[in-house]
Amino acid sequence: MSKSILITGATGFIGNHLLCILKQNNYSITIALRNPSNSNYKTIVVGEIDDRTSWKNALENIDVVIHLAARAHILQESVTNPEAEFDRINAEGTINLVKQCLEVGVKHFIFLSSIGAVTTLSNTIISETSLCNPDTPYGKSKLKAEQALEELCQNSTMTYTILRPTLVYGANNPGNMERLLKLVAKGLPLPLGGINNSRSLVYVGNLVDAIITCIDSPQAQNQTFIVSDGEDLSTPELIRRIGKAMNKTPLLLPIPSSLIKIGTKLLGKGEAGDRLLGSLQVDSGKIRKTLNWQPPYTVDEGIKMTADWFKEMIKNENR
């Protein structure tokens, strides 16, 4: 008998990719939406996700919940107290959902957290045993949700899996990867050749494969896993790989990182500059060993598929 799965955040970047793969398998899928929408799946409208959301209808006869919905990091904040908003949606909203899952007998809860629950910058390699010291409101809210999930599941029949992906890239992602794709496509000189950092990434296809592996694996129960592609890249090397995928040769100027840091601070973009220049390497060996899991796509394959999507998007825009 197939498992009945509820997915939150199913219309988002990761959720869309997850649905495309799940529909090829024998799962009964329900998606929770904020607003009414046409869909090929069974849908339940739950409204905004916070500590007051009612999940009663959405959780009926559900075996597994995959909780992707979250308030993501926003470059231009429109609220006066972003930390409270992150906490209300990502932490309190998750806690409320977990409590209602426990009440109705959901068997397994898969929570998409973030490496930001540990940190966003580090000069040492991060693993599941690293001390959590989140340095953003987003990361703090994710850690609070993680801790509550673990505590609430103690002495209960519901098991959990927490996934901490690194920077996720892939088709339809409006984040930093798309910005780099646009810069490389324009062929403009980029003053990033002097950056000497190392960052772990994860292609969305690899993350989706990890999520699906956790649905049916008993070894995934009550575990926290970091998820990455397994190959770390510097910012200049990432740009070169993007260029190769787009059949372009990026012009990287070897400007010292110290000058870039000063420039970003003068422009009021100090935080973005730190992300651009800093390192964040992870060890994702635990999920590979515990679940015998291997990413189905290499970094180059993930970048190529992302670049192909971008080129097709530009072509359609110019029609």
Q: What is the pLDDT of residues 88-141, one digit of tens each?
A: 999 999 999 999 999 999 999 999 999 999 999 999 999 999 999 999 999 999
Q: How many domains does the chain have?
A: 1
Please pick, among 27, 41, 138, 169, the residue that the annotation labels catalytic: 138
Amino acid at 3: K
74 — pLDDT class (breaks 50, 70, 90): low
Task: Judge whether 260 and 231 are in contact, CB under 8 Å.
Answer: no
Per-residue model confidence (pLDDT) at position 2: 82
| pLDDT per position as a tens digit, 169-222 | 999 987 888 889 999 999 999 999 999 999 999 999 999 999 999 999 999 999
Contact 36, 45 (CB under 8 A): yes
**Do the domain assignments include residue 212?**
no
What value does the mean pLDDT take over residues 20-44?
91
pLDDT for 39: 84
- How does pLDDT run across 229-251, given as a tens digit for each residue? 999 999 999 999 999 999 999 99
**Has residue 294 been placed in a domain?**
no
**Residue 21 within any structural domain of the chain:** yes
Q: Does residue 97 belong to any structural domain of this protein?
A: yes
- Residue 53 within a domain: yes
In a domain, 193, yes or no: no
Clarify whether 169 is annotated catalytic. Answer: no
Examine the pLDDT at 291 and tell me if it is beyond 70: yes
Q: Is the pLDDT of residue 80 over 80?
A: no
% pLDDT > 90, the chain: 82
The mean predicted confidence, pLDDT, of the chain is: 94
Q: What are the pLDDT digits (tens) for 128-183?
A: 999 999 999 999 999 999 999 999 999 999 999 999 999 999 999 878 888 899 99
Distances (CA, A) of 76 to 82, 84, 85, 179, 272: 11, 16, 14, 15, 12
- Which CATH number covers residue 139? 3.40.50.720
Please give the residue range of the domain that contains residue 96. Answer: 4-165
Residue 201 within a domain: no
Return the amino acid letter for 113. S
Is the pLDDT assigned to residue 75 strictly greater than 50? no
Asked if residue 301 is part of any domain, the answer here is no
